[in-house]
Chains A and B, each alone.
Chain A
Amino acid sequence: MPAYLQQADRLLRPRELSLPTLQTLPLLVLILGGWYGTVMGSYGGFGGERLWQVLYSATKVPLLLLATFSISLPSFFVLNTLAGLRADFGRVFSALLATQAGMTLILAALSPYTALWYLSFESYTQAILFNGVMFGIASFAAQFILLKFYNPLIRENKLHRLMLVLWLVLYAFVGIQMGWVLRPFIGSPDEAIEFFRENSWGNAYERVFQIFLRSIGQ
């Protein structure tokens, strides 16, 4: 097993709080996230044009996590500084980055189920839904990794708890829109293969509002 994959294992051991090195973490996101993306994009098979979708998805999953992370980080840095937690920010940074890597690790571990689902059922809507569930599970489980690294910080200073909540709000706010922009992840079998959907620009929140309004009949 390559050394960096052995390092990934460290993310999961509850007693050992030694993190993989900062150089390894983004690499893990790229490899493991890329792996889940490959599986995710394989909905239409690997033949001909569909191979592009596999490649696109393999790029998009790490991109989704790393871009959301980098866009949210500067404001979180300023918030931490204002709260007087600058001295801890090195540890905070590695905890957050480790969570990104941890999330891809969980996704990668779930990828066989996705493959099995694709082989069993043909419906595109169900495929989307299943992937949504997988991402949901991974995000939920990744919180345990995040908490594991954050708990010592919270013990030292209670303010870290508030910061953690702020981070999750910030990350989710940006991440939802990022996921919307980077569509399609799976690739509808009826539409052409493309990196971004044409006319896909739009706002996730606005769309949700509109769907909500339509559903209550306004």
Chain B
Amino acid sequence: MKILGPLRELDQILRGEKTKPESLRRASLEISLGQILGMIVFLGLLYGLCMSVFSMTQDYPGHEWQIIASMVKVPALFLLTLLITFPSLYVFNALVGSRFEVVELLRLLIASLGVALSMLGSLGLIVAFFSVSTTSYSFMILLNVFVFSVSGFLGLKFLLQTLHRMSLLTEQEETESSIKETTSPVHSPTEGGFVEIEIVEESSKASSNMASNFSPKEAGPLAQLYGPVLSGEVKTVFRCWIVVFGLVGAQMSWILRPFIGDPNSEFAWFRPRGSSFFEAVYHTFLNLFS
């Protein structure tokens, strides 16, 4: 069952097994980059196929090519957006003193994209159904924009929550190590004994706090865990990056257009430069009503 390997790997991310505190403690995120990347491409191809169903029902010159174009463009959209935004994220992270190495950071982002693509892929069936049954090009565009937004939102939510969990763990590790430091130089029996008792209490308190923060059986990968947040700057960098990722992703989708294929014009791999994603969505929205 070698084919099922990547699927299982992705499933473990979706179930939150990879982001449980026990798994996070050992390394950053124990995922196989290649396998998740494979799944991302596969799910992208699948969604692209669902997306291109609309062009199959239309009859404009060269519409057969739209199927291949859509299939290639969906995974490309996500991976190119990551490619553009990744270097700056890494640099700013390092600047504010985060502990992420390049590979660790990449793992985190690929896992988030995996979550986003899973949602996208599973919504593909609905998009395909609407593609078959509707003739309105504007409606299809807006539906797709909505589906992409929902998927992207869930993926980025996963990123933020995982980051939050990691910062909780760092906090705990730091208190533990500071406790160790204070316990080690114990010489005087009276004082040392006192300190030790207090520390044992404190550390057991800390671990019980952790236990109440994480209830791994119930909590999914998106569940909010409460607790102190470490390294506010790192989180700020990630928050800014998420906005940038969204903007770049939207504009990237505009550059890579057409994804669906305008039934009133000929097939083209790319359309001429000009305008922007947001302008286009606004006009499409108005079109739907006219």
A85 within 8 A of B: yes
B209 within 8 A of A: no
Taken residue by residue from 94 to 125, chain A's Cβ proximity to chain B (1 for < 8 Å, 0 otherwise) reads as 00000000000000000000000000000000
18 A-B pairs whose Cβ atoms sit less than 8 Å apart in the complex? A74-B122, A74-B125, A77-B122, A79-B119, A82-B115, A82-B158, A83-B223, A84-B15, A84-B16, A174-B129, A178-B129, A202-B133, A202-B135, A203-B130, A203-B139, A206-B139, A209-B289, A213-B289
Q: How far is the CA of A157 from the CA of B125 in the complex (A)?
A: 28
B288 in complex: contacting residue of A71, A84, A174, A206, CB < 8 Å: A206
Q: Are B133 and A181 interface neighbours, CB within 8 A?
A: yes
Q: How far is the CA of A78 from the CA of B125 in the complex (A)?
A: 13
A46 within 8 A of B: no
A75 in complex: contacting residue of B16, B123, B136, B289, CB < 8 Å: B123
CB distance from A168 to the nearest CB of B (A): 15
**Given A75-B119, A78-B119, A203-B135, A84 and B126 contact (CB-CB distance below 8 Å):** no
A143 within 8 A of B: no
Q: How far is the CA of A81 from the CA of B119 in the complex (A)?
A: 10
Q: How far is the CA of A206 from the CA of B289 in the complex (A)?
A: 8
A205 within 8 A of B: yes
B222 in complex: contacting residue of A75, A83, A86, CB < 8 Å: A83
Q: How far is the CA of A213 from the CA of B130 in the complex (A)?
A: 22
A139 within 8 A of B: no
**Given A84-B221, A203-B136, A72 and B118 contact (CB-CB distance below 8 Å):** no
**B-side contacts of A144, CB under 8 Å:** none
**B-side contacts of A93, CB under 8 Å:** none
A82 in complex: contacting residue of B57, B130, B134, B221, CB < 8 Å: B221
Q: Are B221 and A203 interface neighbours, CB within 8 A?
A: no
A167 within 8 A of B: no
B129 in complex: contacting residue of A71, A82, A84, A159, CB < 8 Å: A71
Q: How far is the CA of A78 from the CA of B158 in the complex (A)?
A: 13
Taken residue by residue from 123 to 157, chain B's Cβ proximity to chain A (1 for < 8 Å, 0 otherwise) reads as 10110011001111001000000000000001000
Q: Are A205 and B139 interface neighbours, CB within 8 A?
A: yes
CB distance from A182 to the nearest CB of B (A): 9
Smallest Cβ-Cβ distance to A81: which chain B residue? B14
CB distance from B160 to the nearest CB of A (A): 13
**B-side contacts of A140, CB under 8 Å:** none
Q: Are A71 and B133 interface neighbours, CB within 8 A?
A: no
Question: Which 5 A-B residue pairs are closest in the complex by CB-CB distance?
Answer: A84-B220, A203-B134, A74-B122, A78-B122, A75-B122
